[in-house]
Amino acid sequence: MRIITGKARGLKLKTPAGLSTRPTGDRVKESLFNILNGLVTFADINAVLDIFAGTGALGLESISRGAKSATFIDTTTTDIVRFNATRAKFIGNCTIERGDFRKILPRLARRCVFDLIFSDPPYAEDLAQTSLSLVAELNLLTAGGLIVVEHGAEKFLEPPKNFSLVRQIVYGNTTAVDIFTR
């Protein structure tokens, strides 16, 4: 697992031991960011939110490409996110929150909104729709912003009110990525 391009290009990211997390693979991440490059200008992104951050790869990749800051949420891997952000020399652009996203997002909503949000929950816990709906309910996404939700390929996500599906990418029979805008 590495940062693909930008200021920290090629940096290998520390990953958690064991199978408790499922980091987005380099192939899927590279494909996703190629699509995002056609939809956003990373230098114009003020704030990224990486829910279920794992290694922090998606938020850190965004900063490497020019996004100004990223907030990371995870229940167990915040030490790994902090390590990776420090190695990439992005720690000053990062806020790292440890805990359940359902408790952290309402607190974040009182002080900020995000231009780009990543939600990559554990597939077995079926939290993709929950995270998408909560982001919409709390108005965490700027108008015209994007939320990228990774989920099992067999699932269908219902766009919340005022959100529309921009693109869906299916990788094999296990992974789907939906990109919504508000």
Q: What CATH number does residue 112 fall under?
A: 3.40.50.150
Domain assignment present for 26: no
What one-letter code names the amino acid at 94? C
Q: Give Cβ neighbours of residue 95 (< 8 Å, ≥ 6 apart).
A: 69, 70, 71, 72
Count of CB atoms situated within 10 Å of the CB of 13 = 22
What is the model's pTM? 0.94
Give me the number of domains the chain comprises: 1
Range of the domain at 177: 44-181
| Alpha-carbon torsion angle 74, 75, 78, 80, nearest 10 | -100
| Helix boundaries (H) for the chain | 26-37, 57-64, 78-87, 101-109, 128-137
Domain assignment present for 139: yes
> How far does CA 77 lie from the centroid of its chain?
14
Domain assignment present for 15: no
Average pLDDT estimate for 19-40: 80
pLDDT at 22: 56
* Closest alpha carbon to 46 in 87, 93, 13: 93
Q: Give Cβ neighbours of residue 41 (< 8 Å, ≥ 6 apart).
A: 66
Domain assignment present for 112: yes
pLDDT at 175: 85
The answer to whether residue 149 scores a pLDDT higher than 70 is yes
Domain assignment present for 99: yes
Domain assignment present for 129: yes
| Euclidean distance between CA atoms 60 and 83, whole angstroms | 11
Which of 1-5, 77-81, 172-176 is least confident? 172-176
Domain assignment present for 8: no
73 has which bridge partners? 51, 97
Domain assignment present for 158: yes
